[in-house]
Homo-oligomer: A and B are copies of this chain.
């Protein structure tokens, strides 16, 4: 059942690995068939190189396994909460990708700092609040999803298709599983340049090299008497 969606979810999982966003088994992609109310998701703890269509797991929106020999990703309940709350999304991704995870660990939102961000995200990429002890000790993965949904109370998830879960890592989503992976790649790139932008803002100094050395090197390559290379 759901062969087309399984293929999409399998390929999206492999794309995630090919883009360098996962180490070992640290990530998972799911997709939903809205009509049937069924989700296809990566099995838990299986290496990407061992993934096949047959190993994909089908669950319903309550998390019951409908098809598959394997246990679904341990983060399945989080995915389900997102599908229930965000009616336009068709795919969800979770990773521990290094730059986005570092922002999540720091507990800081990623503010829009340039057009790369603006091309994909209409606002800051928010970071969730601390989870309560009762949430951590209760139905933890489901509560994680609920905290994400709470974070988007005033936000349109289609305009900001990503979140940082505090002291954990990013989730992204999109109209399809591929779109959700696309947003993971973009989020990672945006986190990386936001980090560097802030460092430059804090550390820029007006120091310049010795002017004569600048002249010497520019002119030995480009001046009338240039002597670098083999001449023309």
A204 touches B106 (CB 8 A): yes
A202 touches B205 (CB 8 A): yes
Q: How many copies of this chain does one complex carry? A: 4
A66 contacts chain B at the CB level, 8 A cutoff: no
> What is the interface residue range for chain A against chain B?
35 or more
Which of A4-12, A30-38, A109-117 forms contacts with chain B? A109-117
Partner of A167, one of B114, B136, B196: B114
A117 touches B200 (CB 8 A): no
B209 touches A117 (CB 8 A): yes
Nearest CB on B from A53, distance (A): 17
Q: Tell me the A residues contacting B by CB distance below 8 Å.
A: 23-24, 26, 43-46, 70-71, 74, 96, 98-99, 101-106, 108, 111-122, 124, 130-131, 133, 136-137, 140, 159, 167-169, 182, 185-186, 189, 192-210, 212-218, 220-222, 227-231
Between A and B, 28 residue pairs with Cβ closer than 8 Å are A23-B185, A24-B185, A26-B116, A44-B228, A71-B227, A74-B228, A74-B229, A98-B192, A99-B196, A105-B193, A111-B208, A113-B167, A113-B208, A114-B167, A114-B169, A116-B169, A119-B218, A120-B218, A121-B218, A130-B210, A136-B213, A136-B216, A137-B212, A140-B216, A140-B220, A159-B218, A168-B213, A195-B199
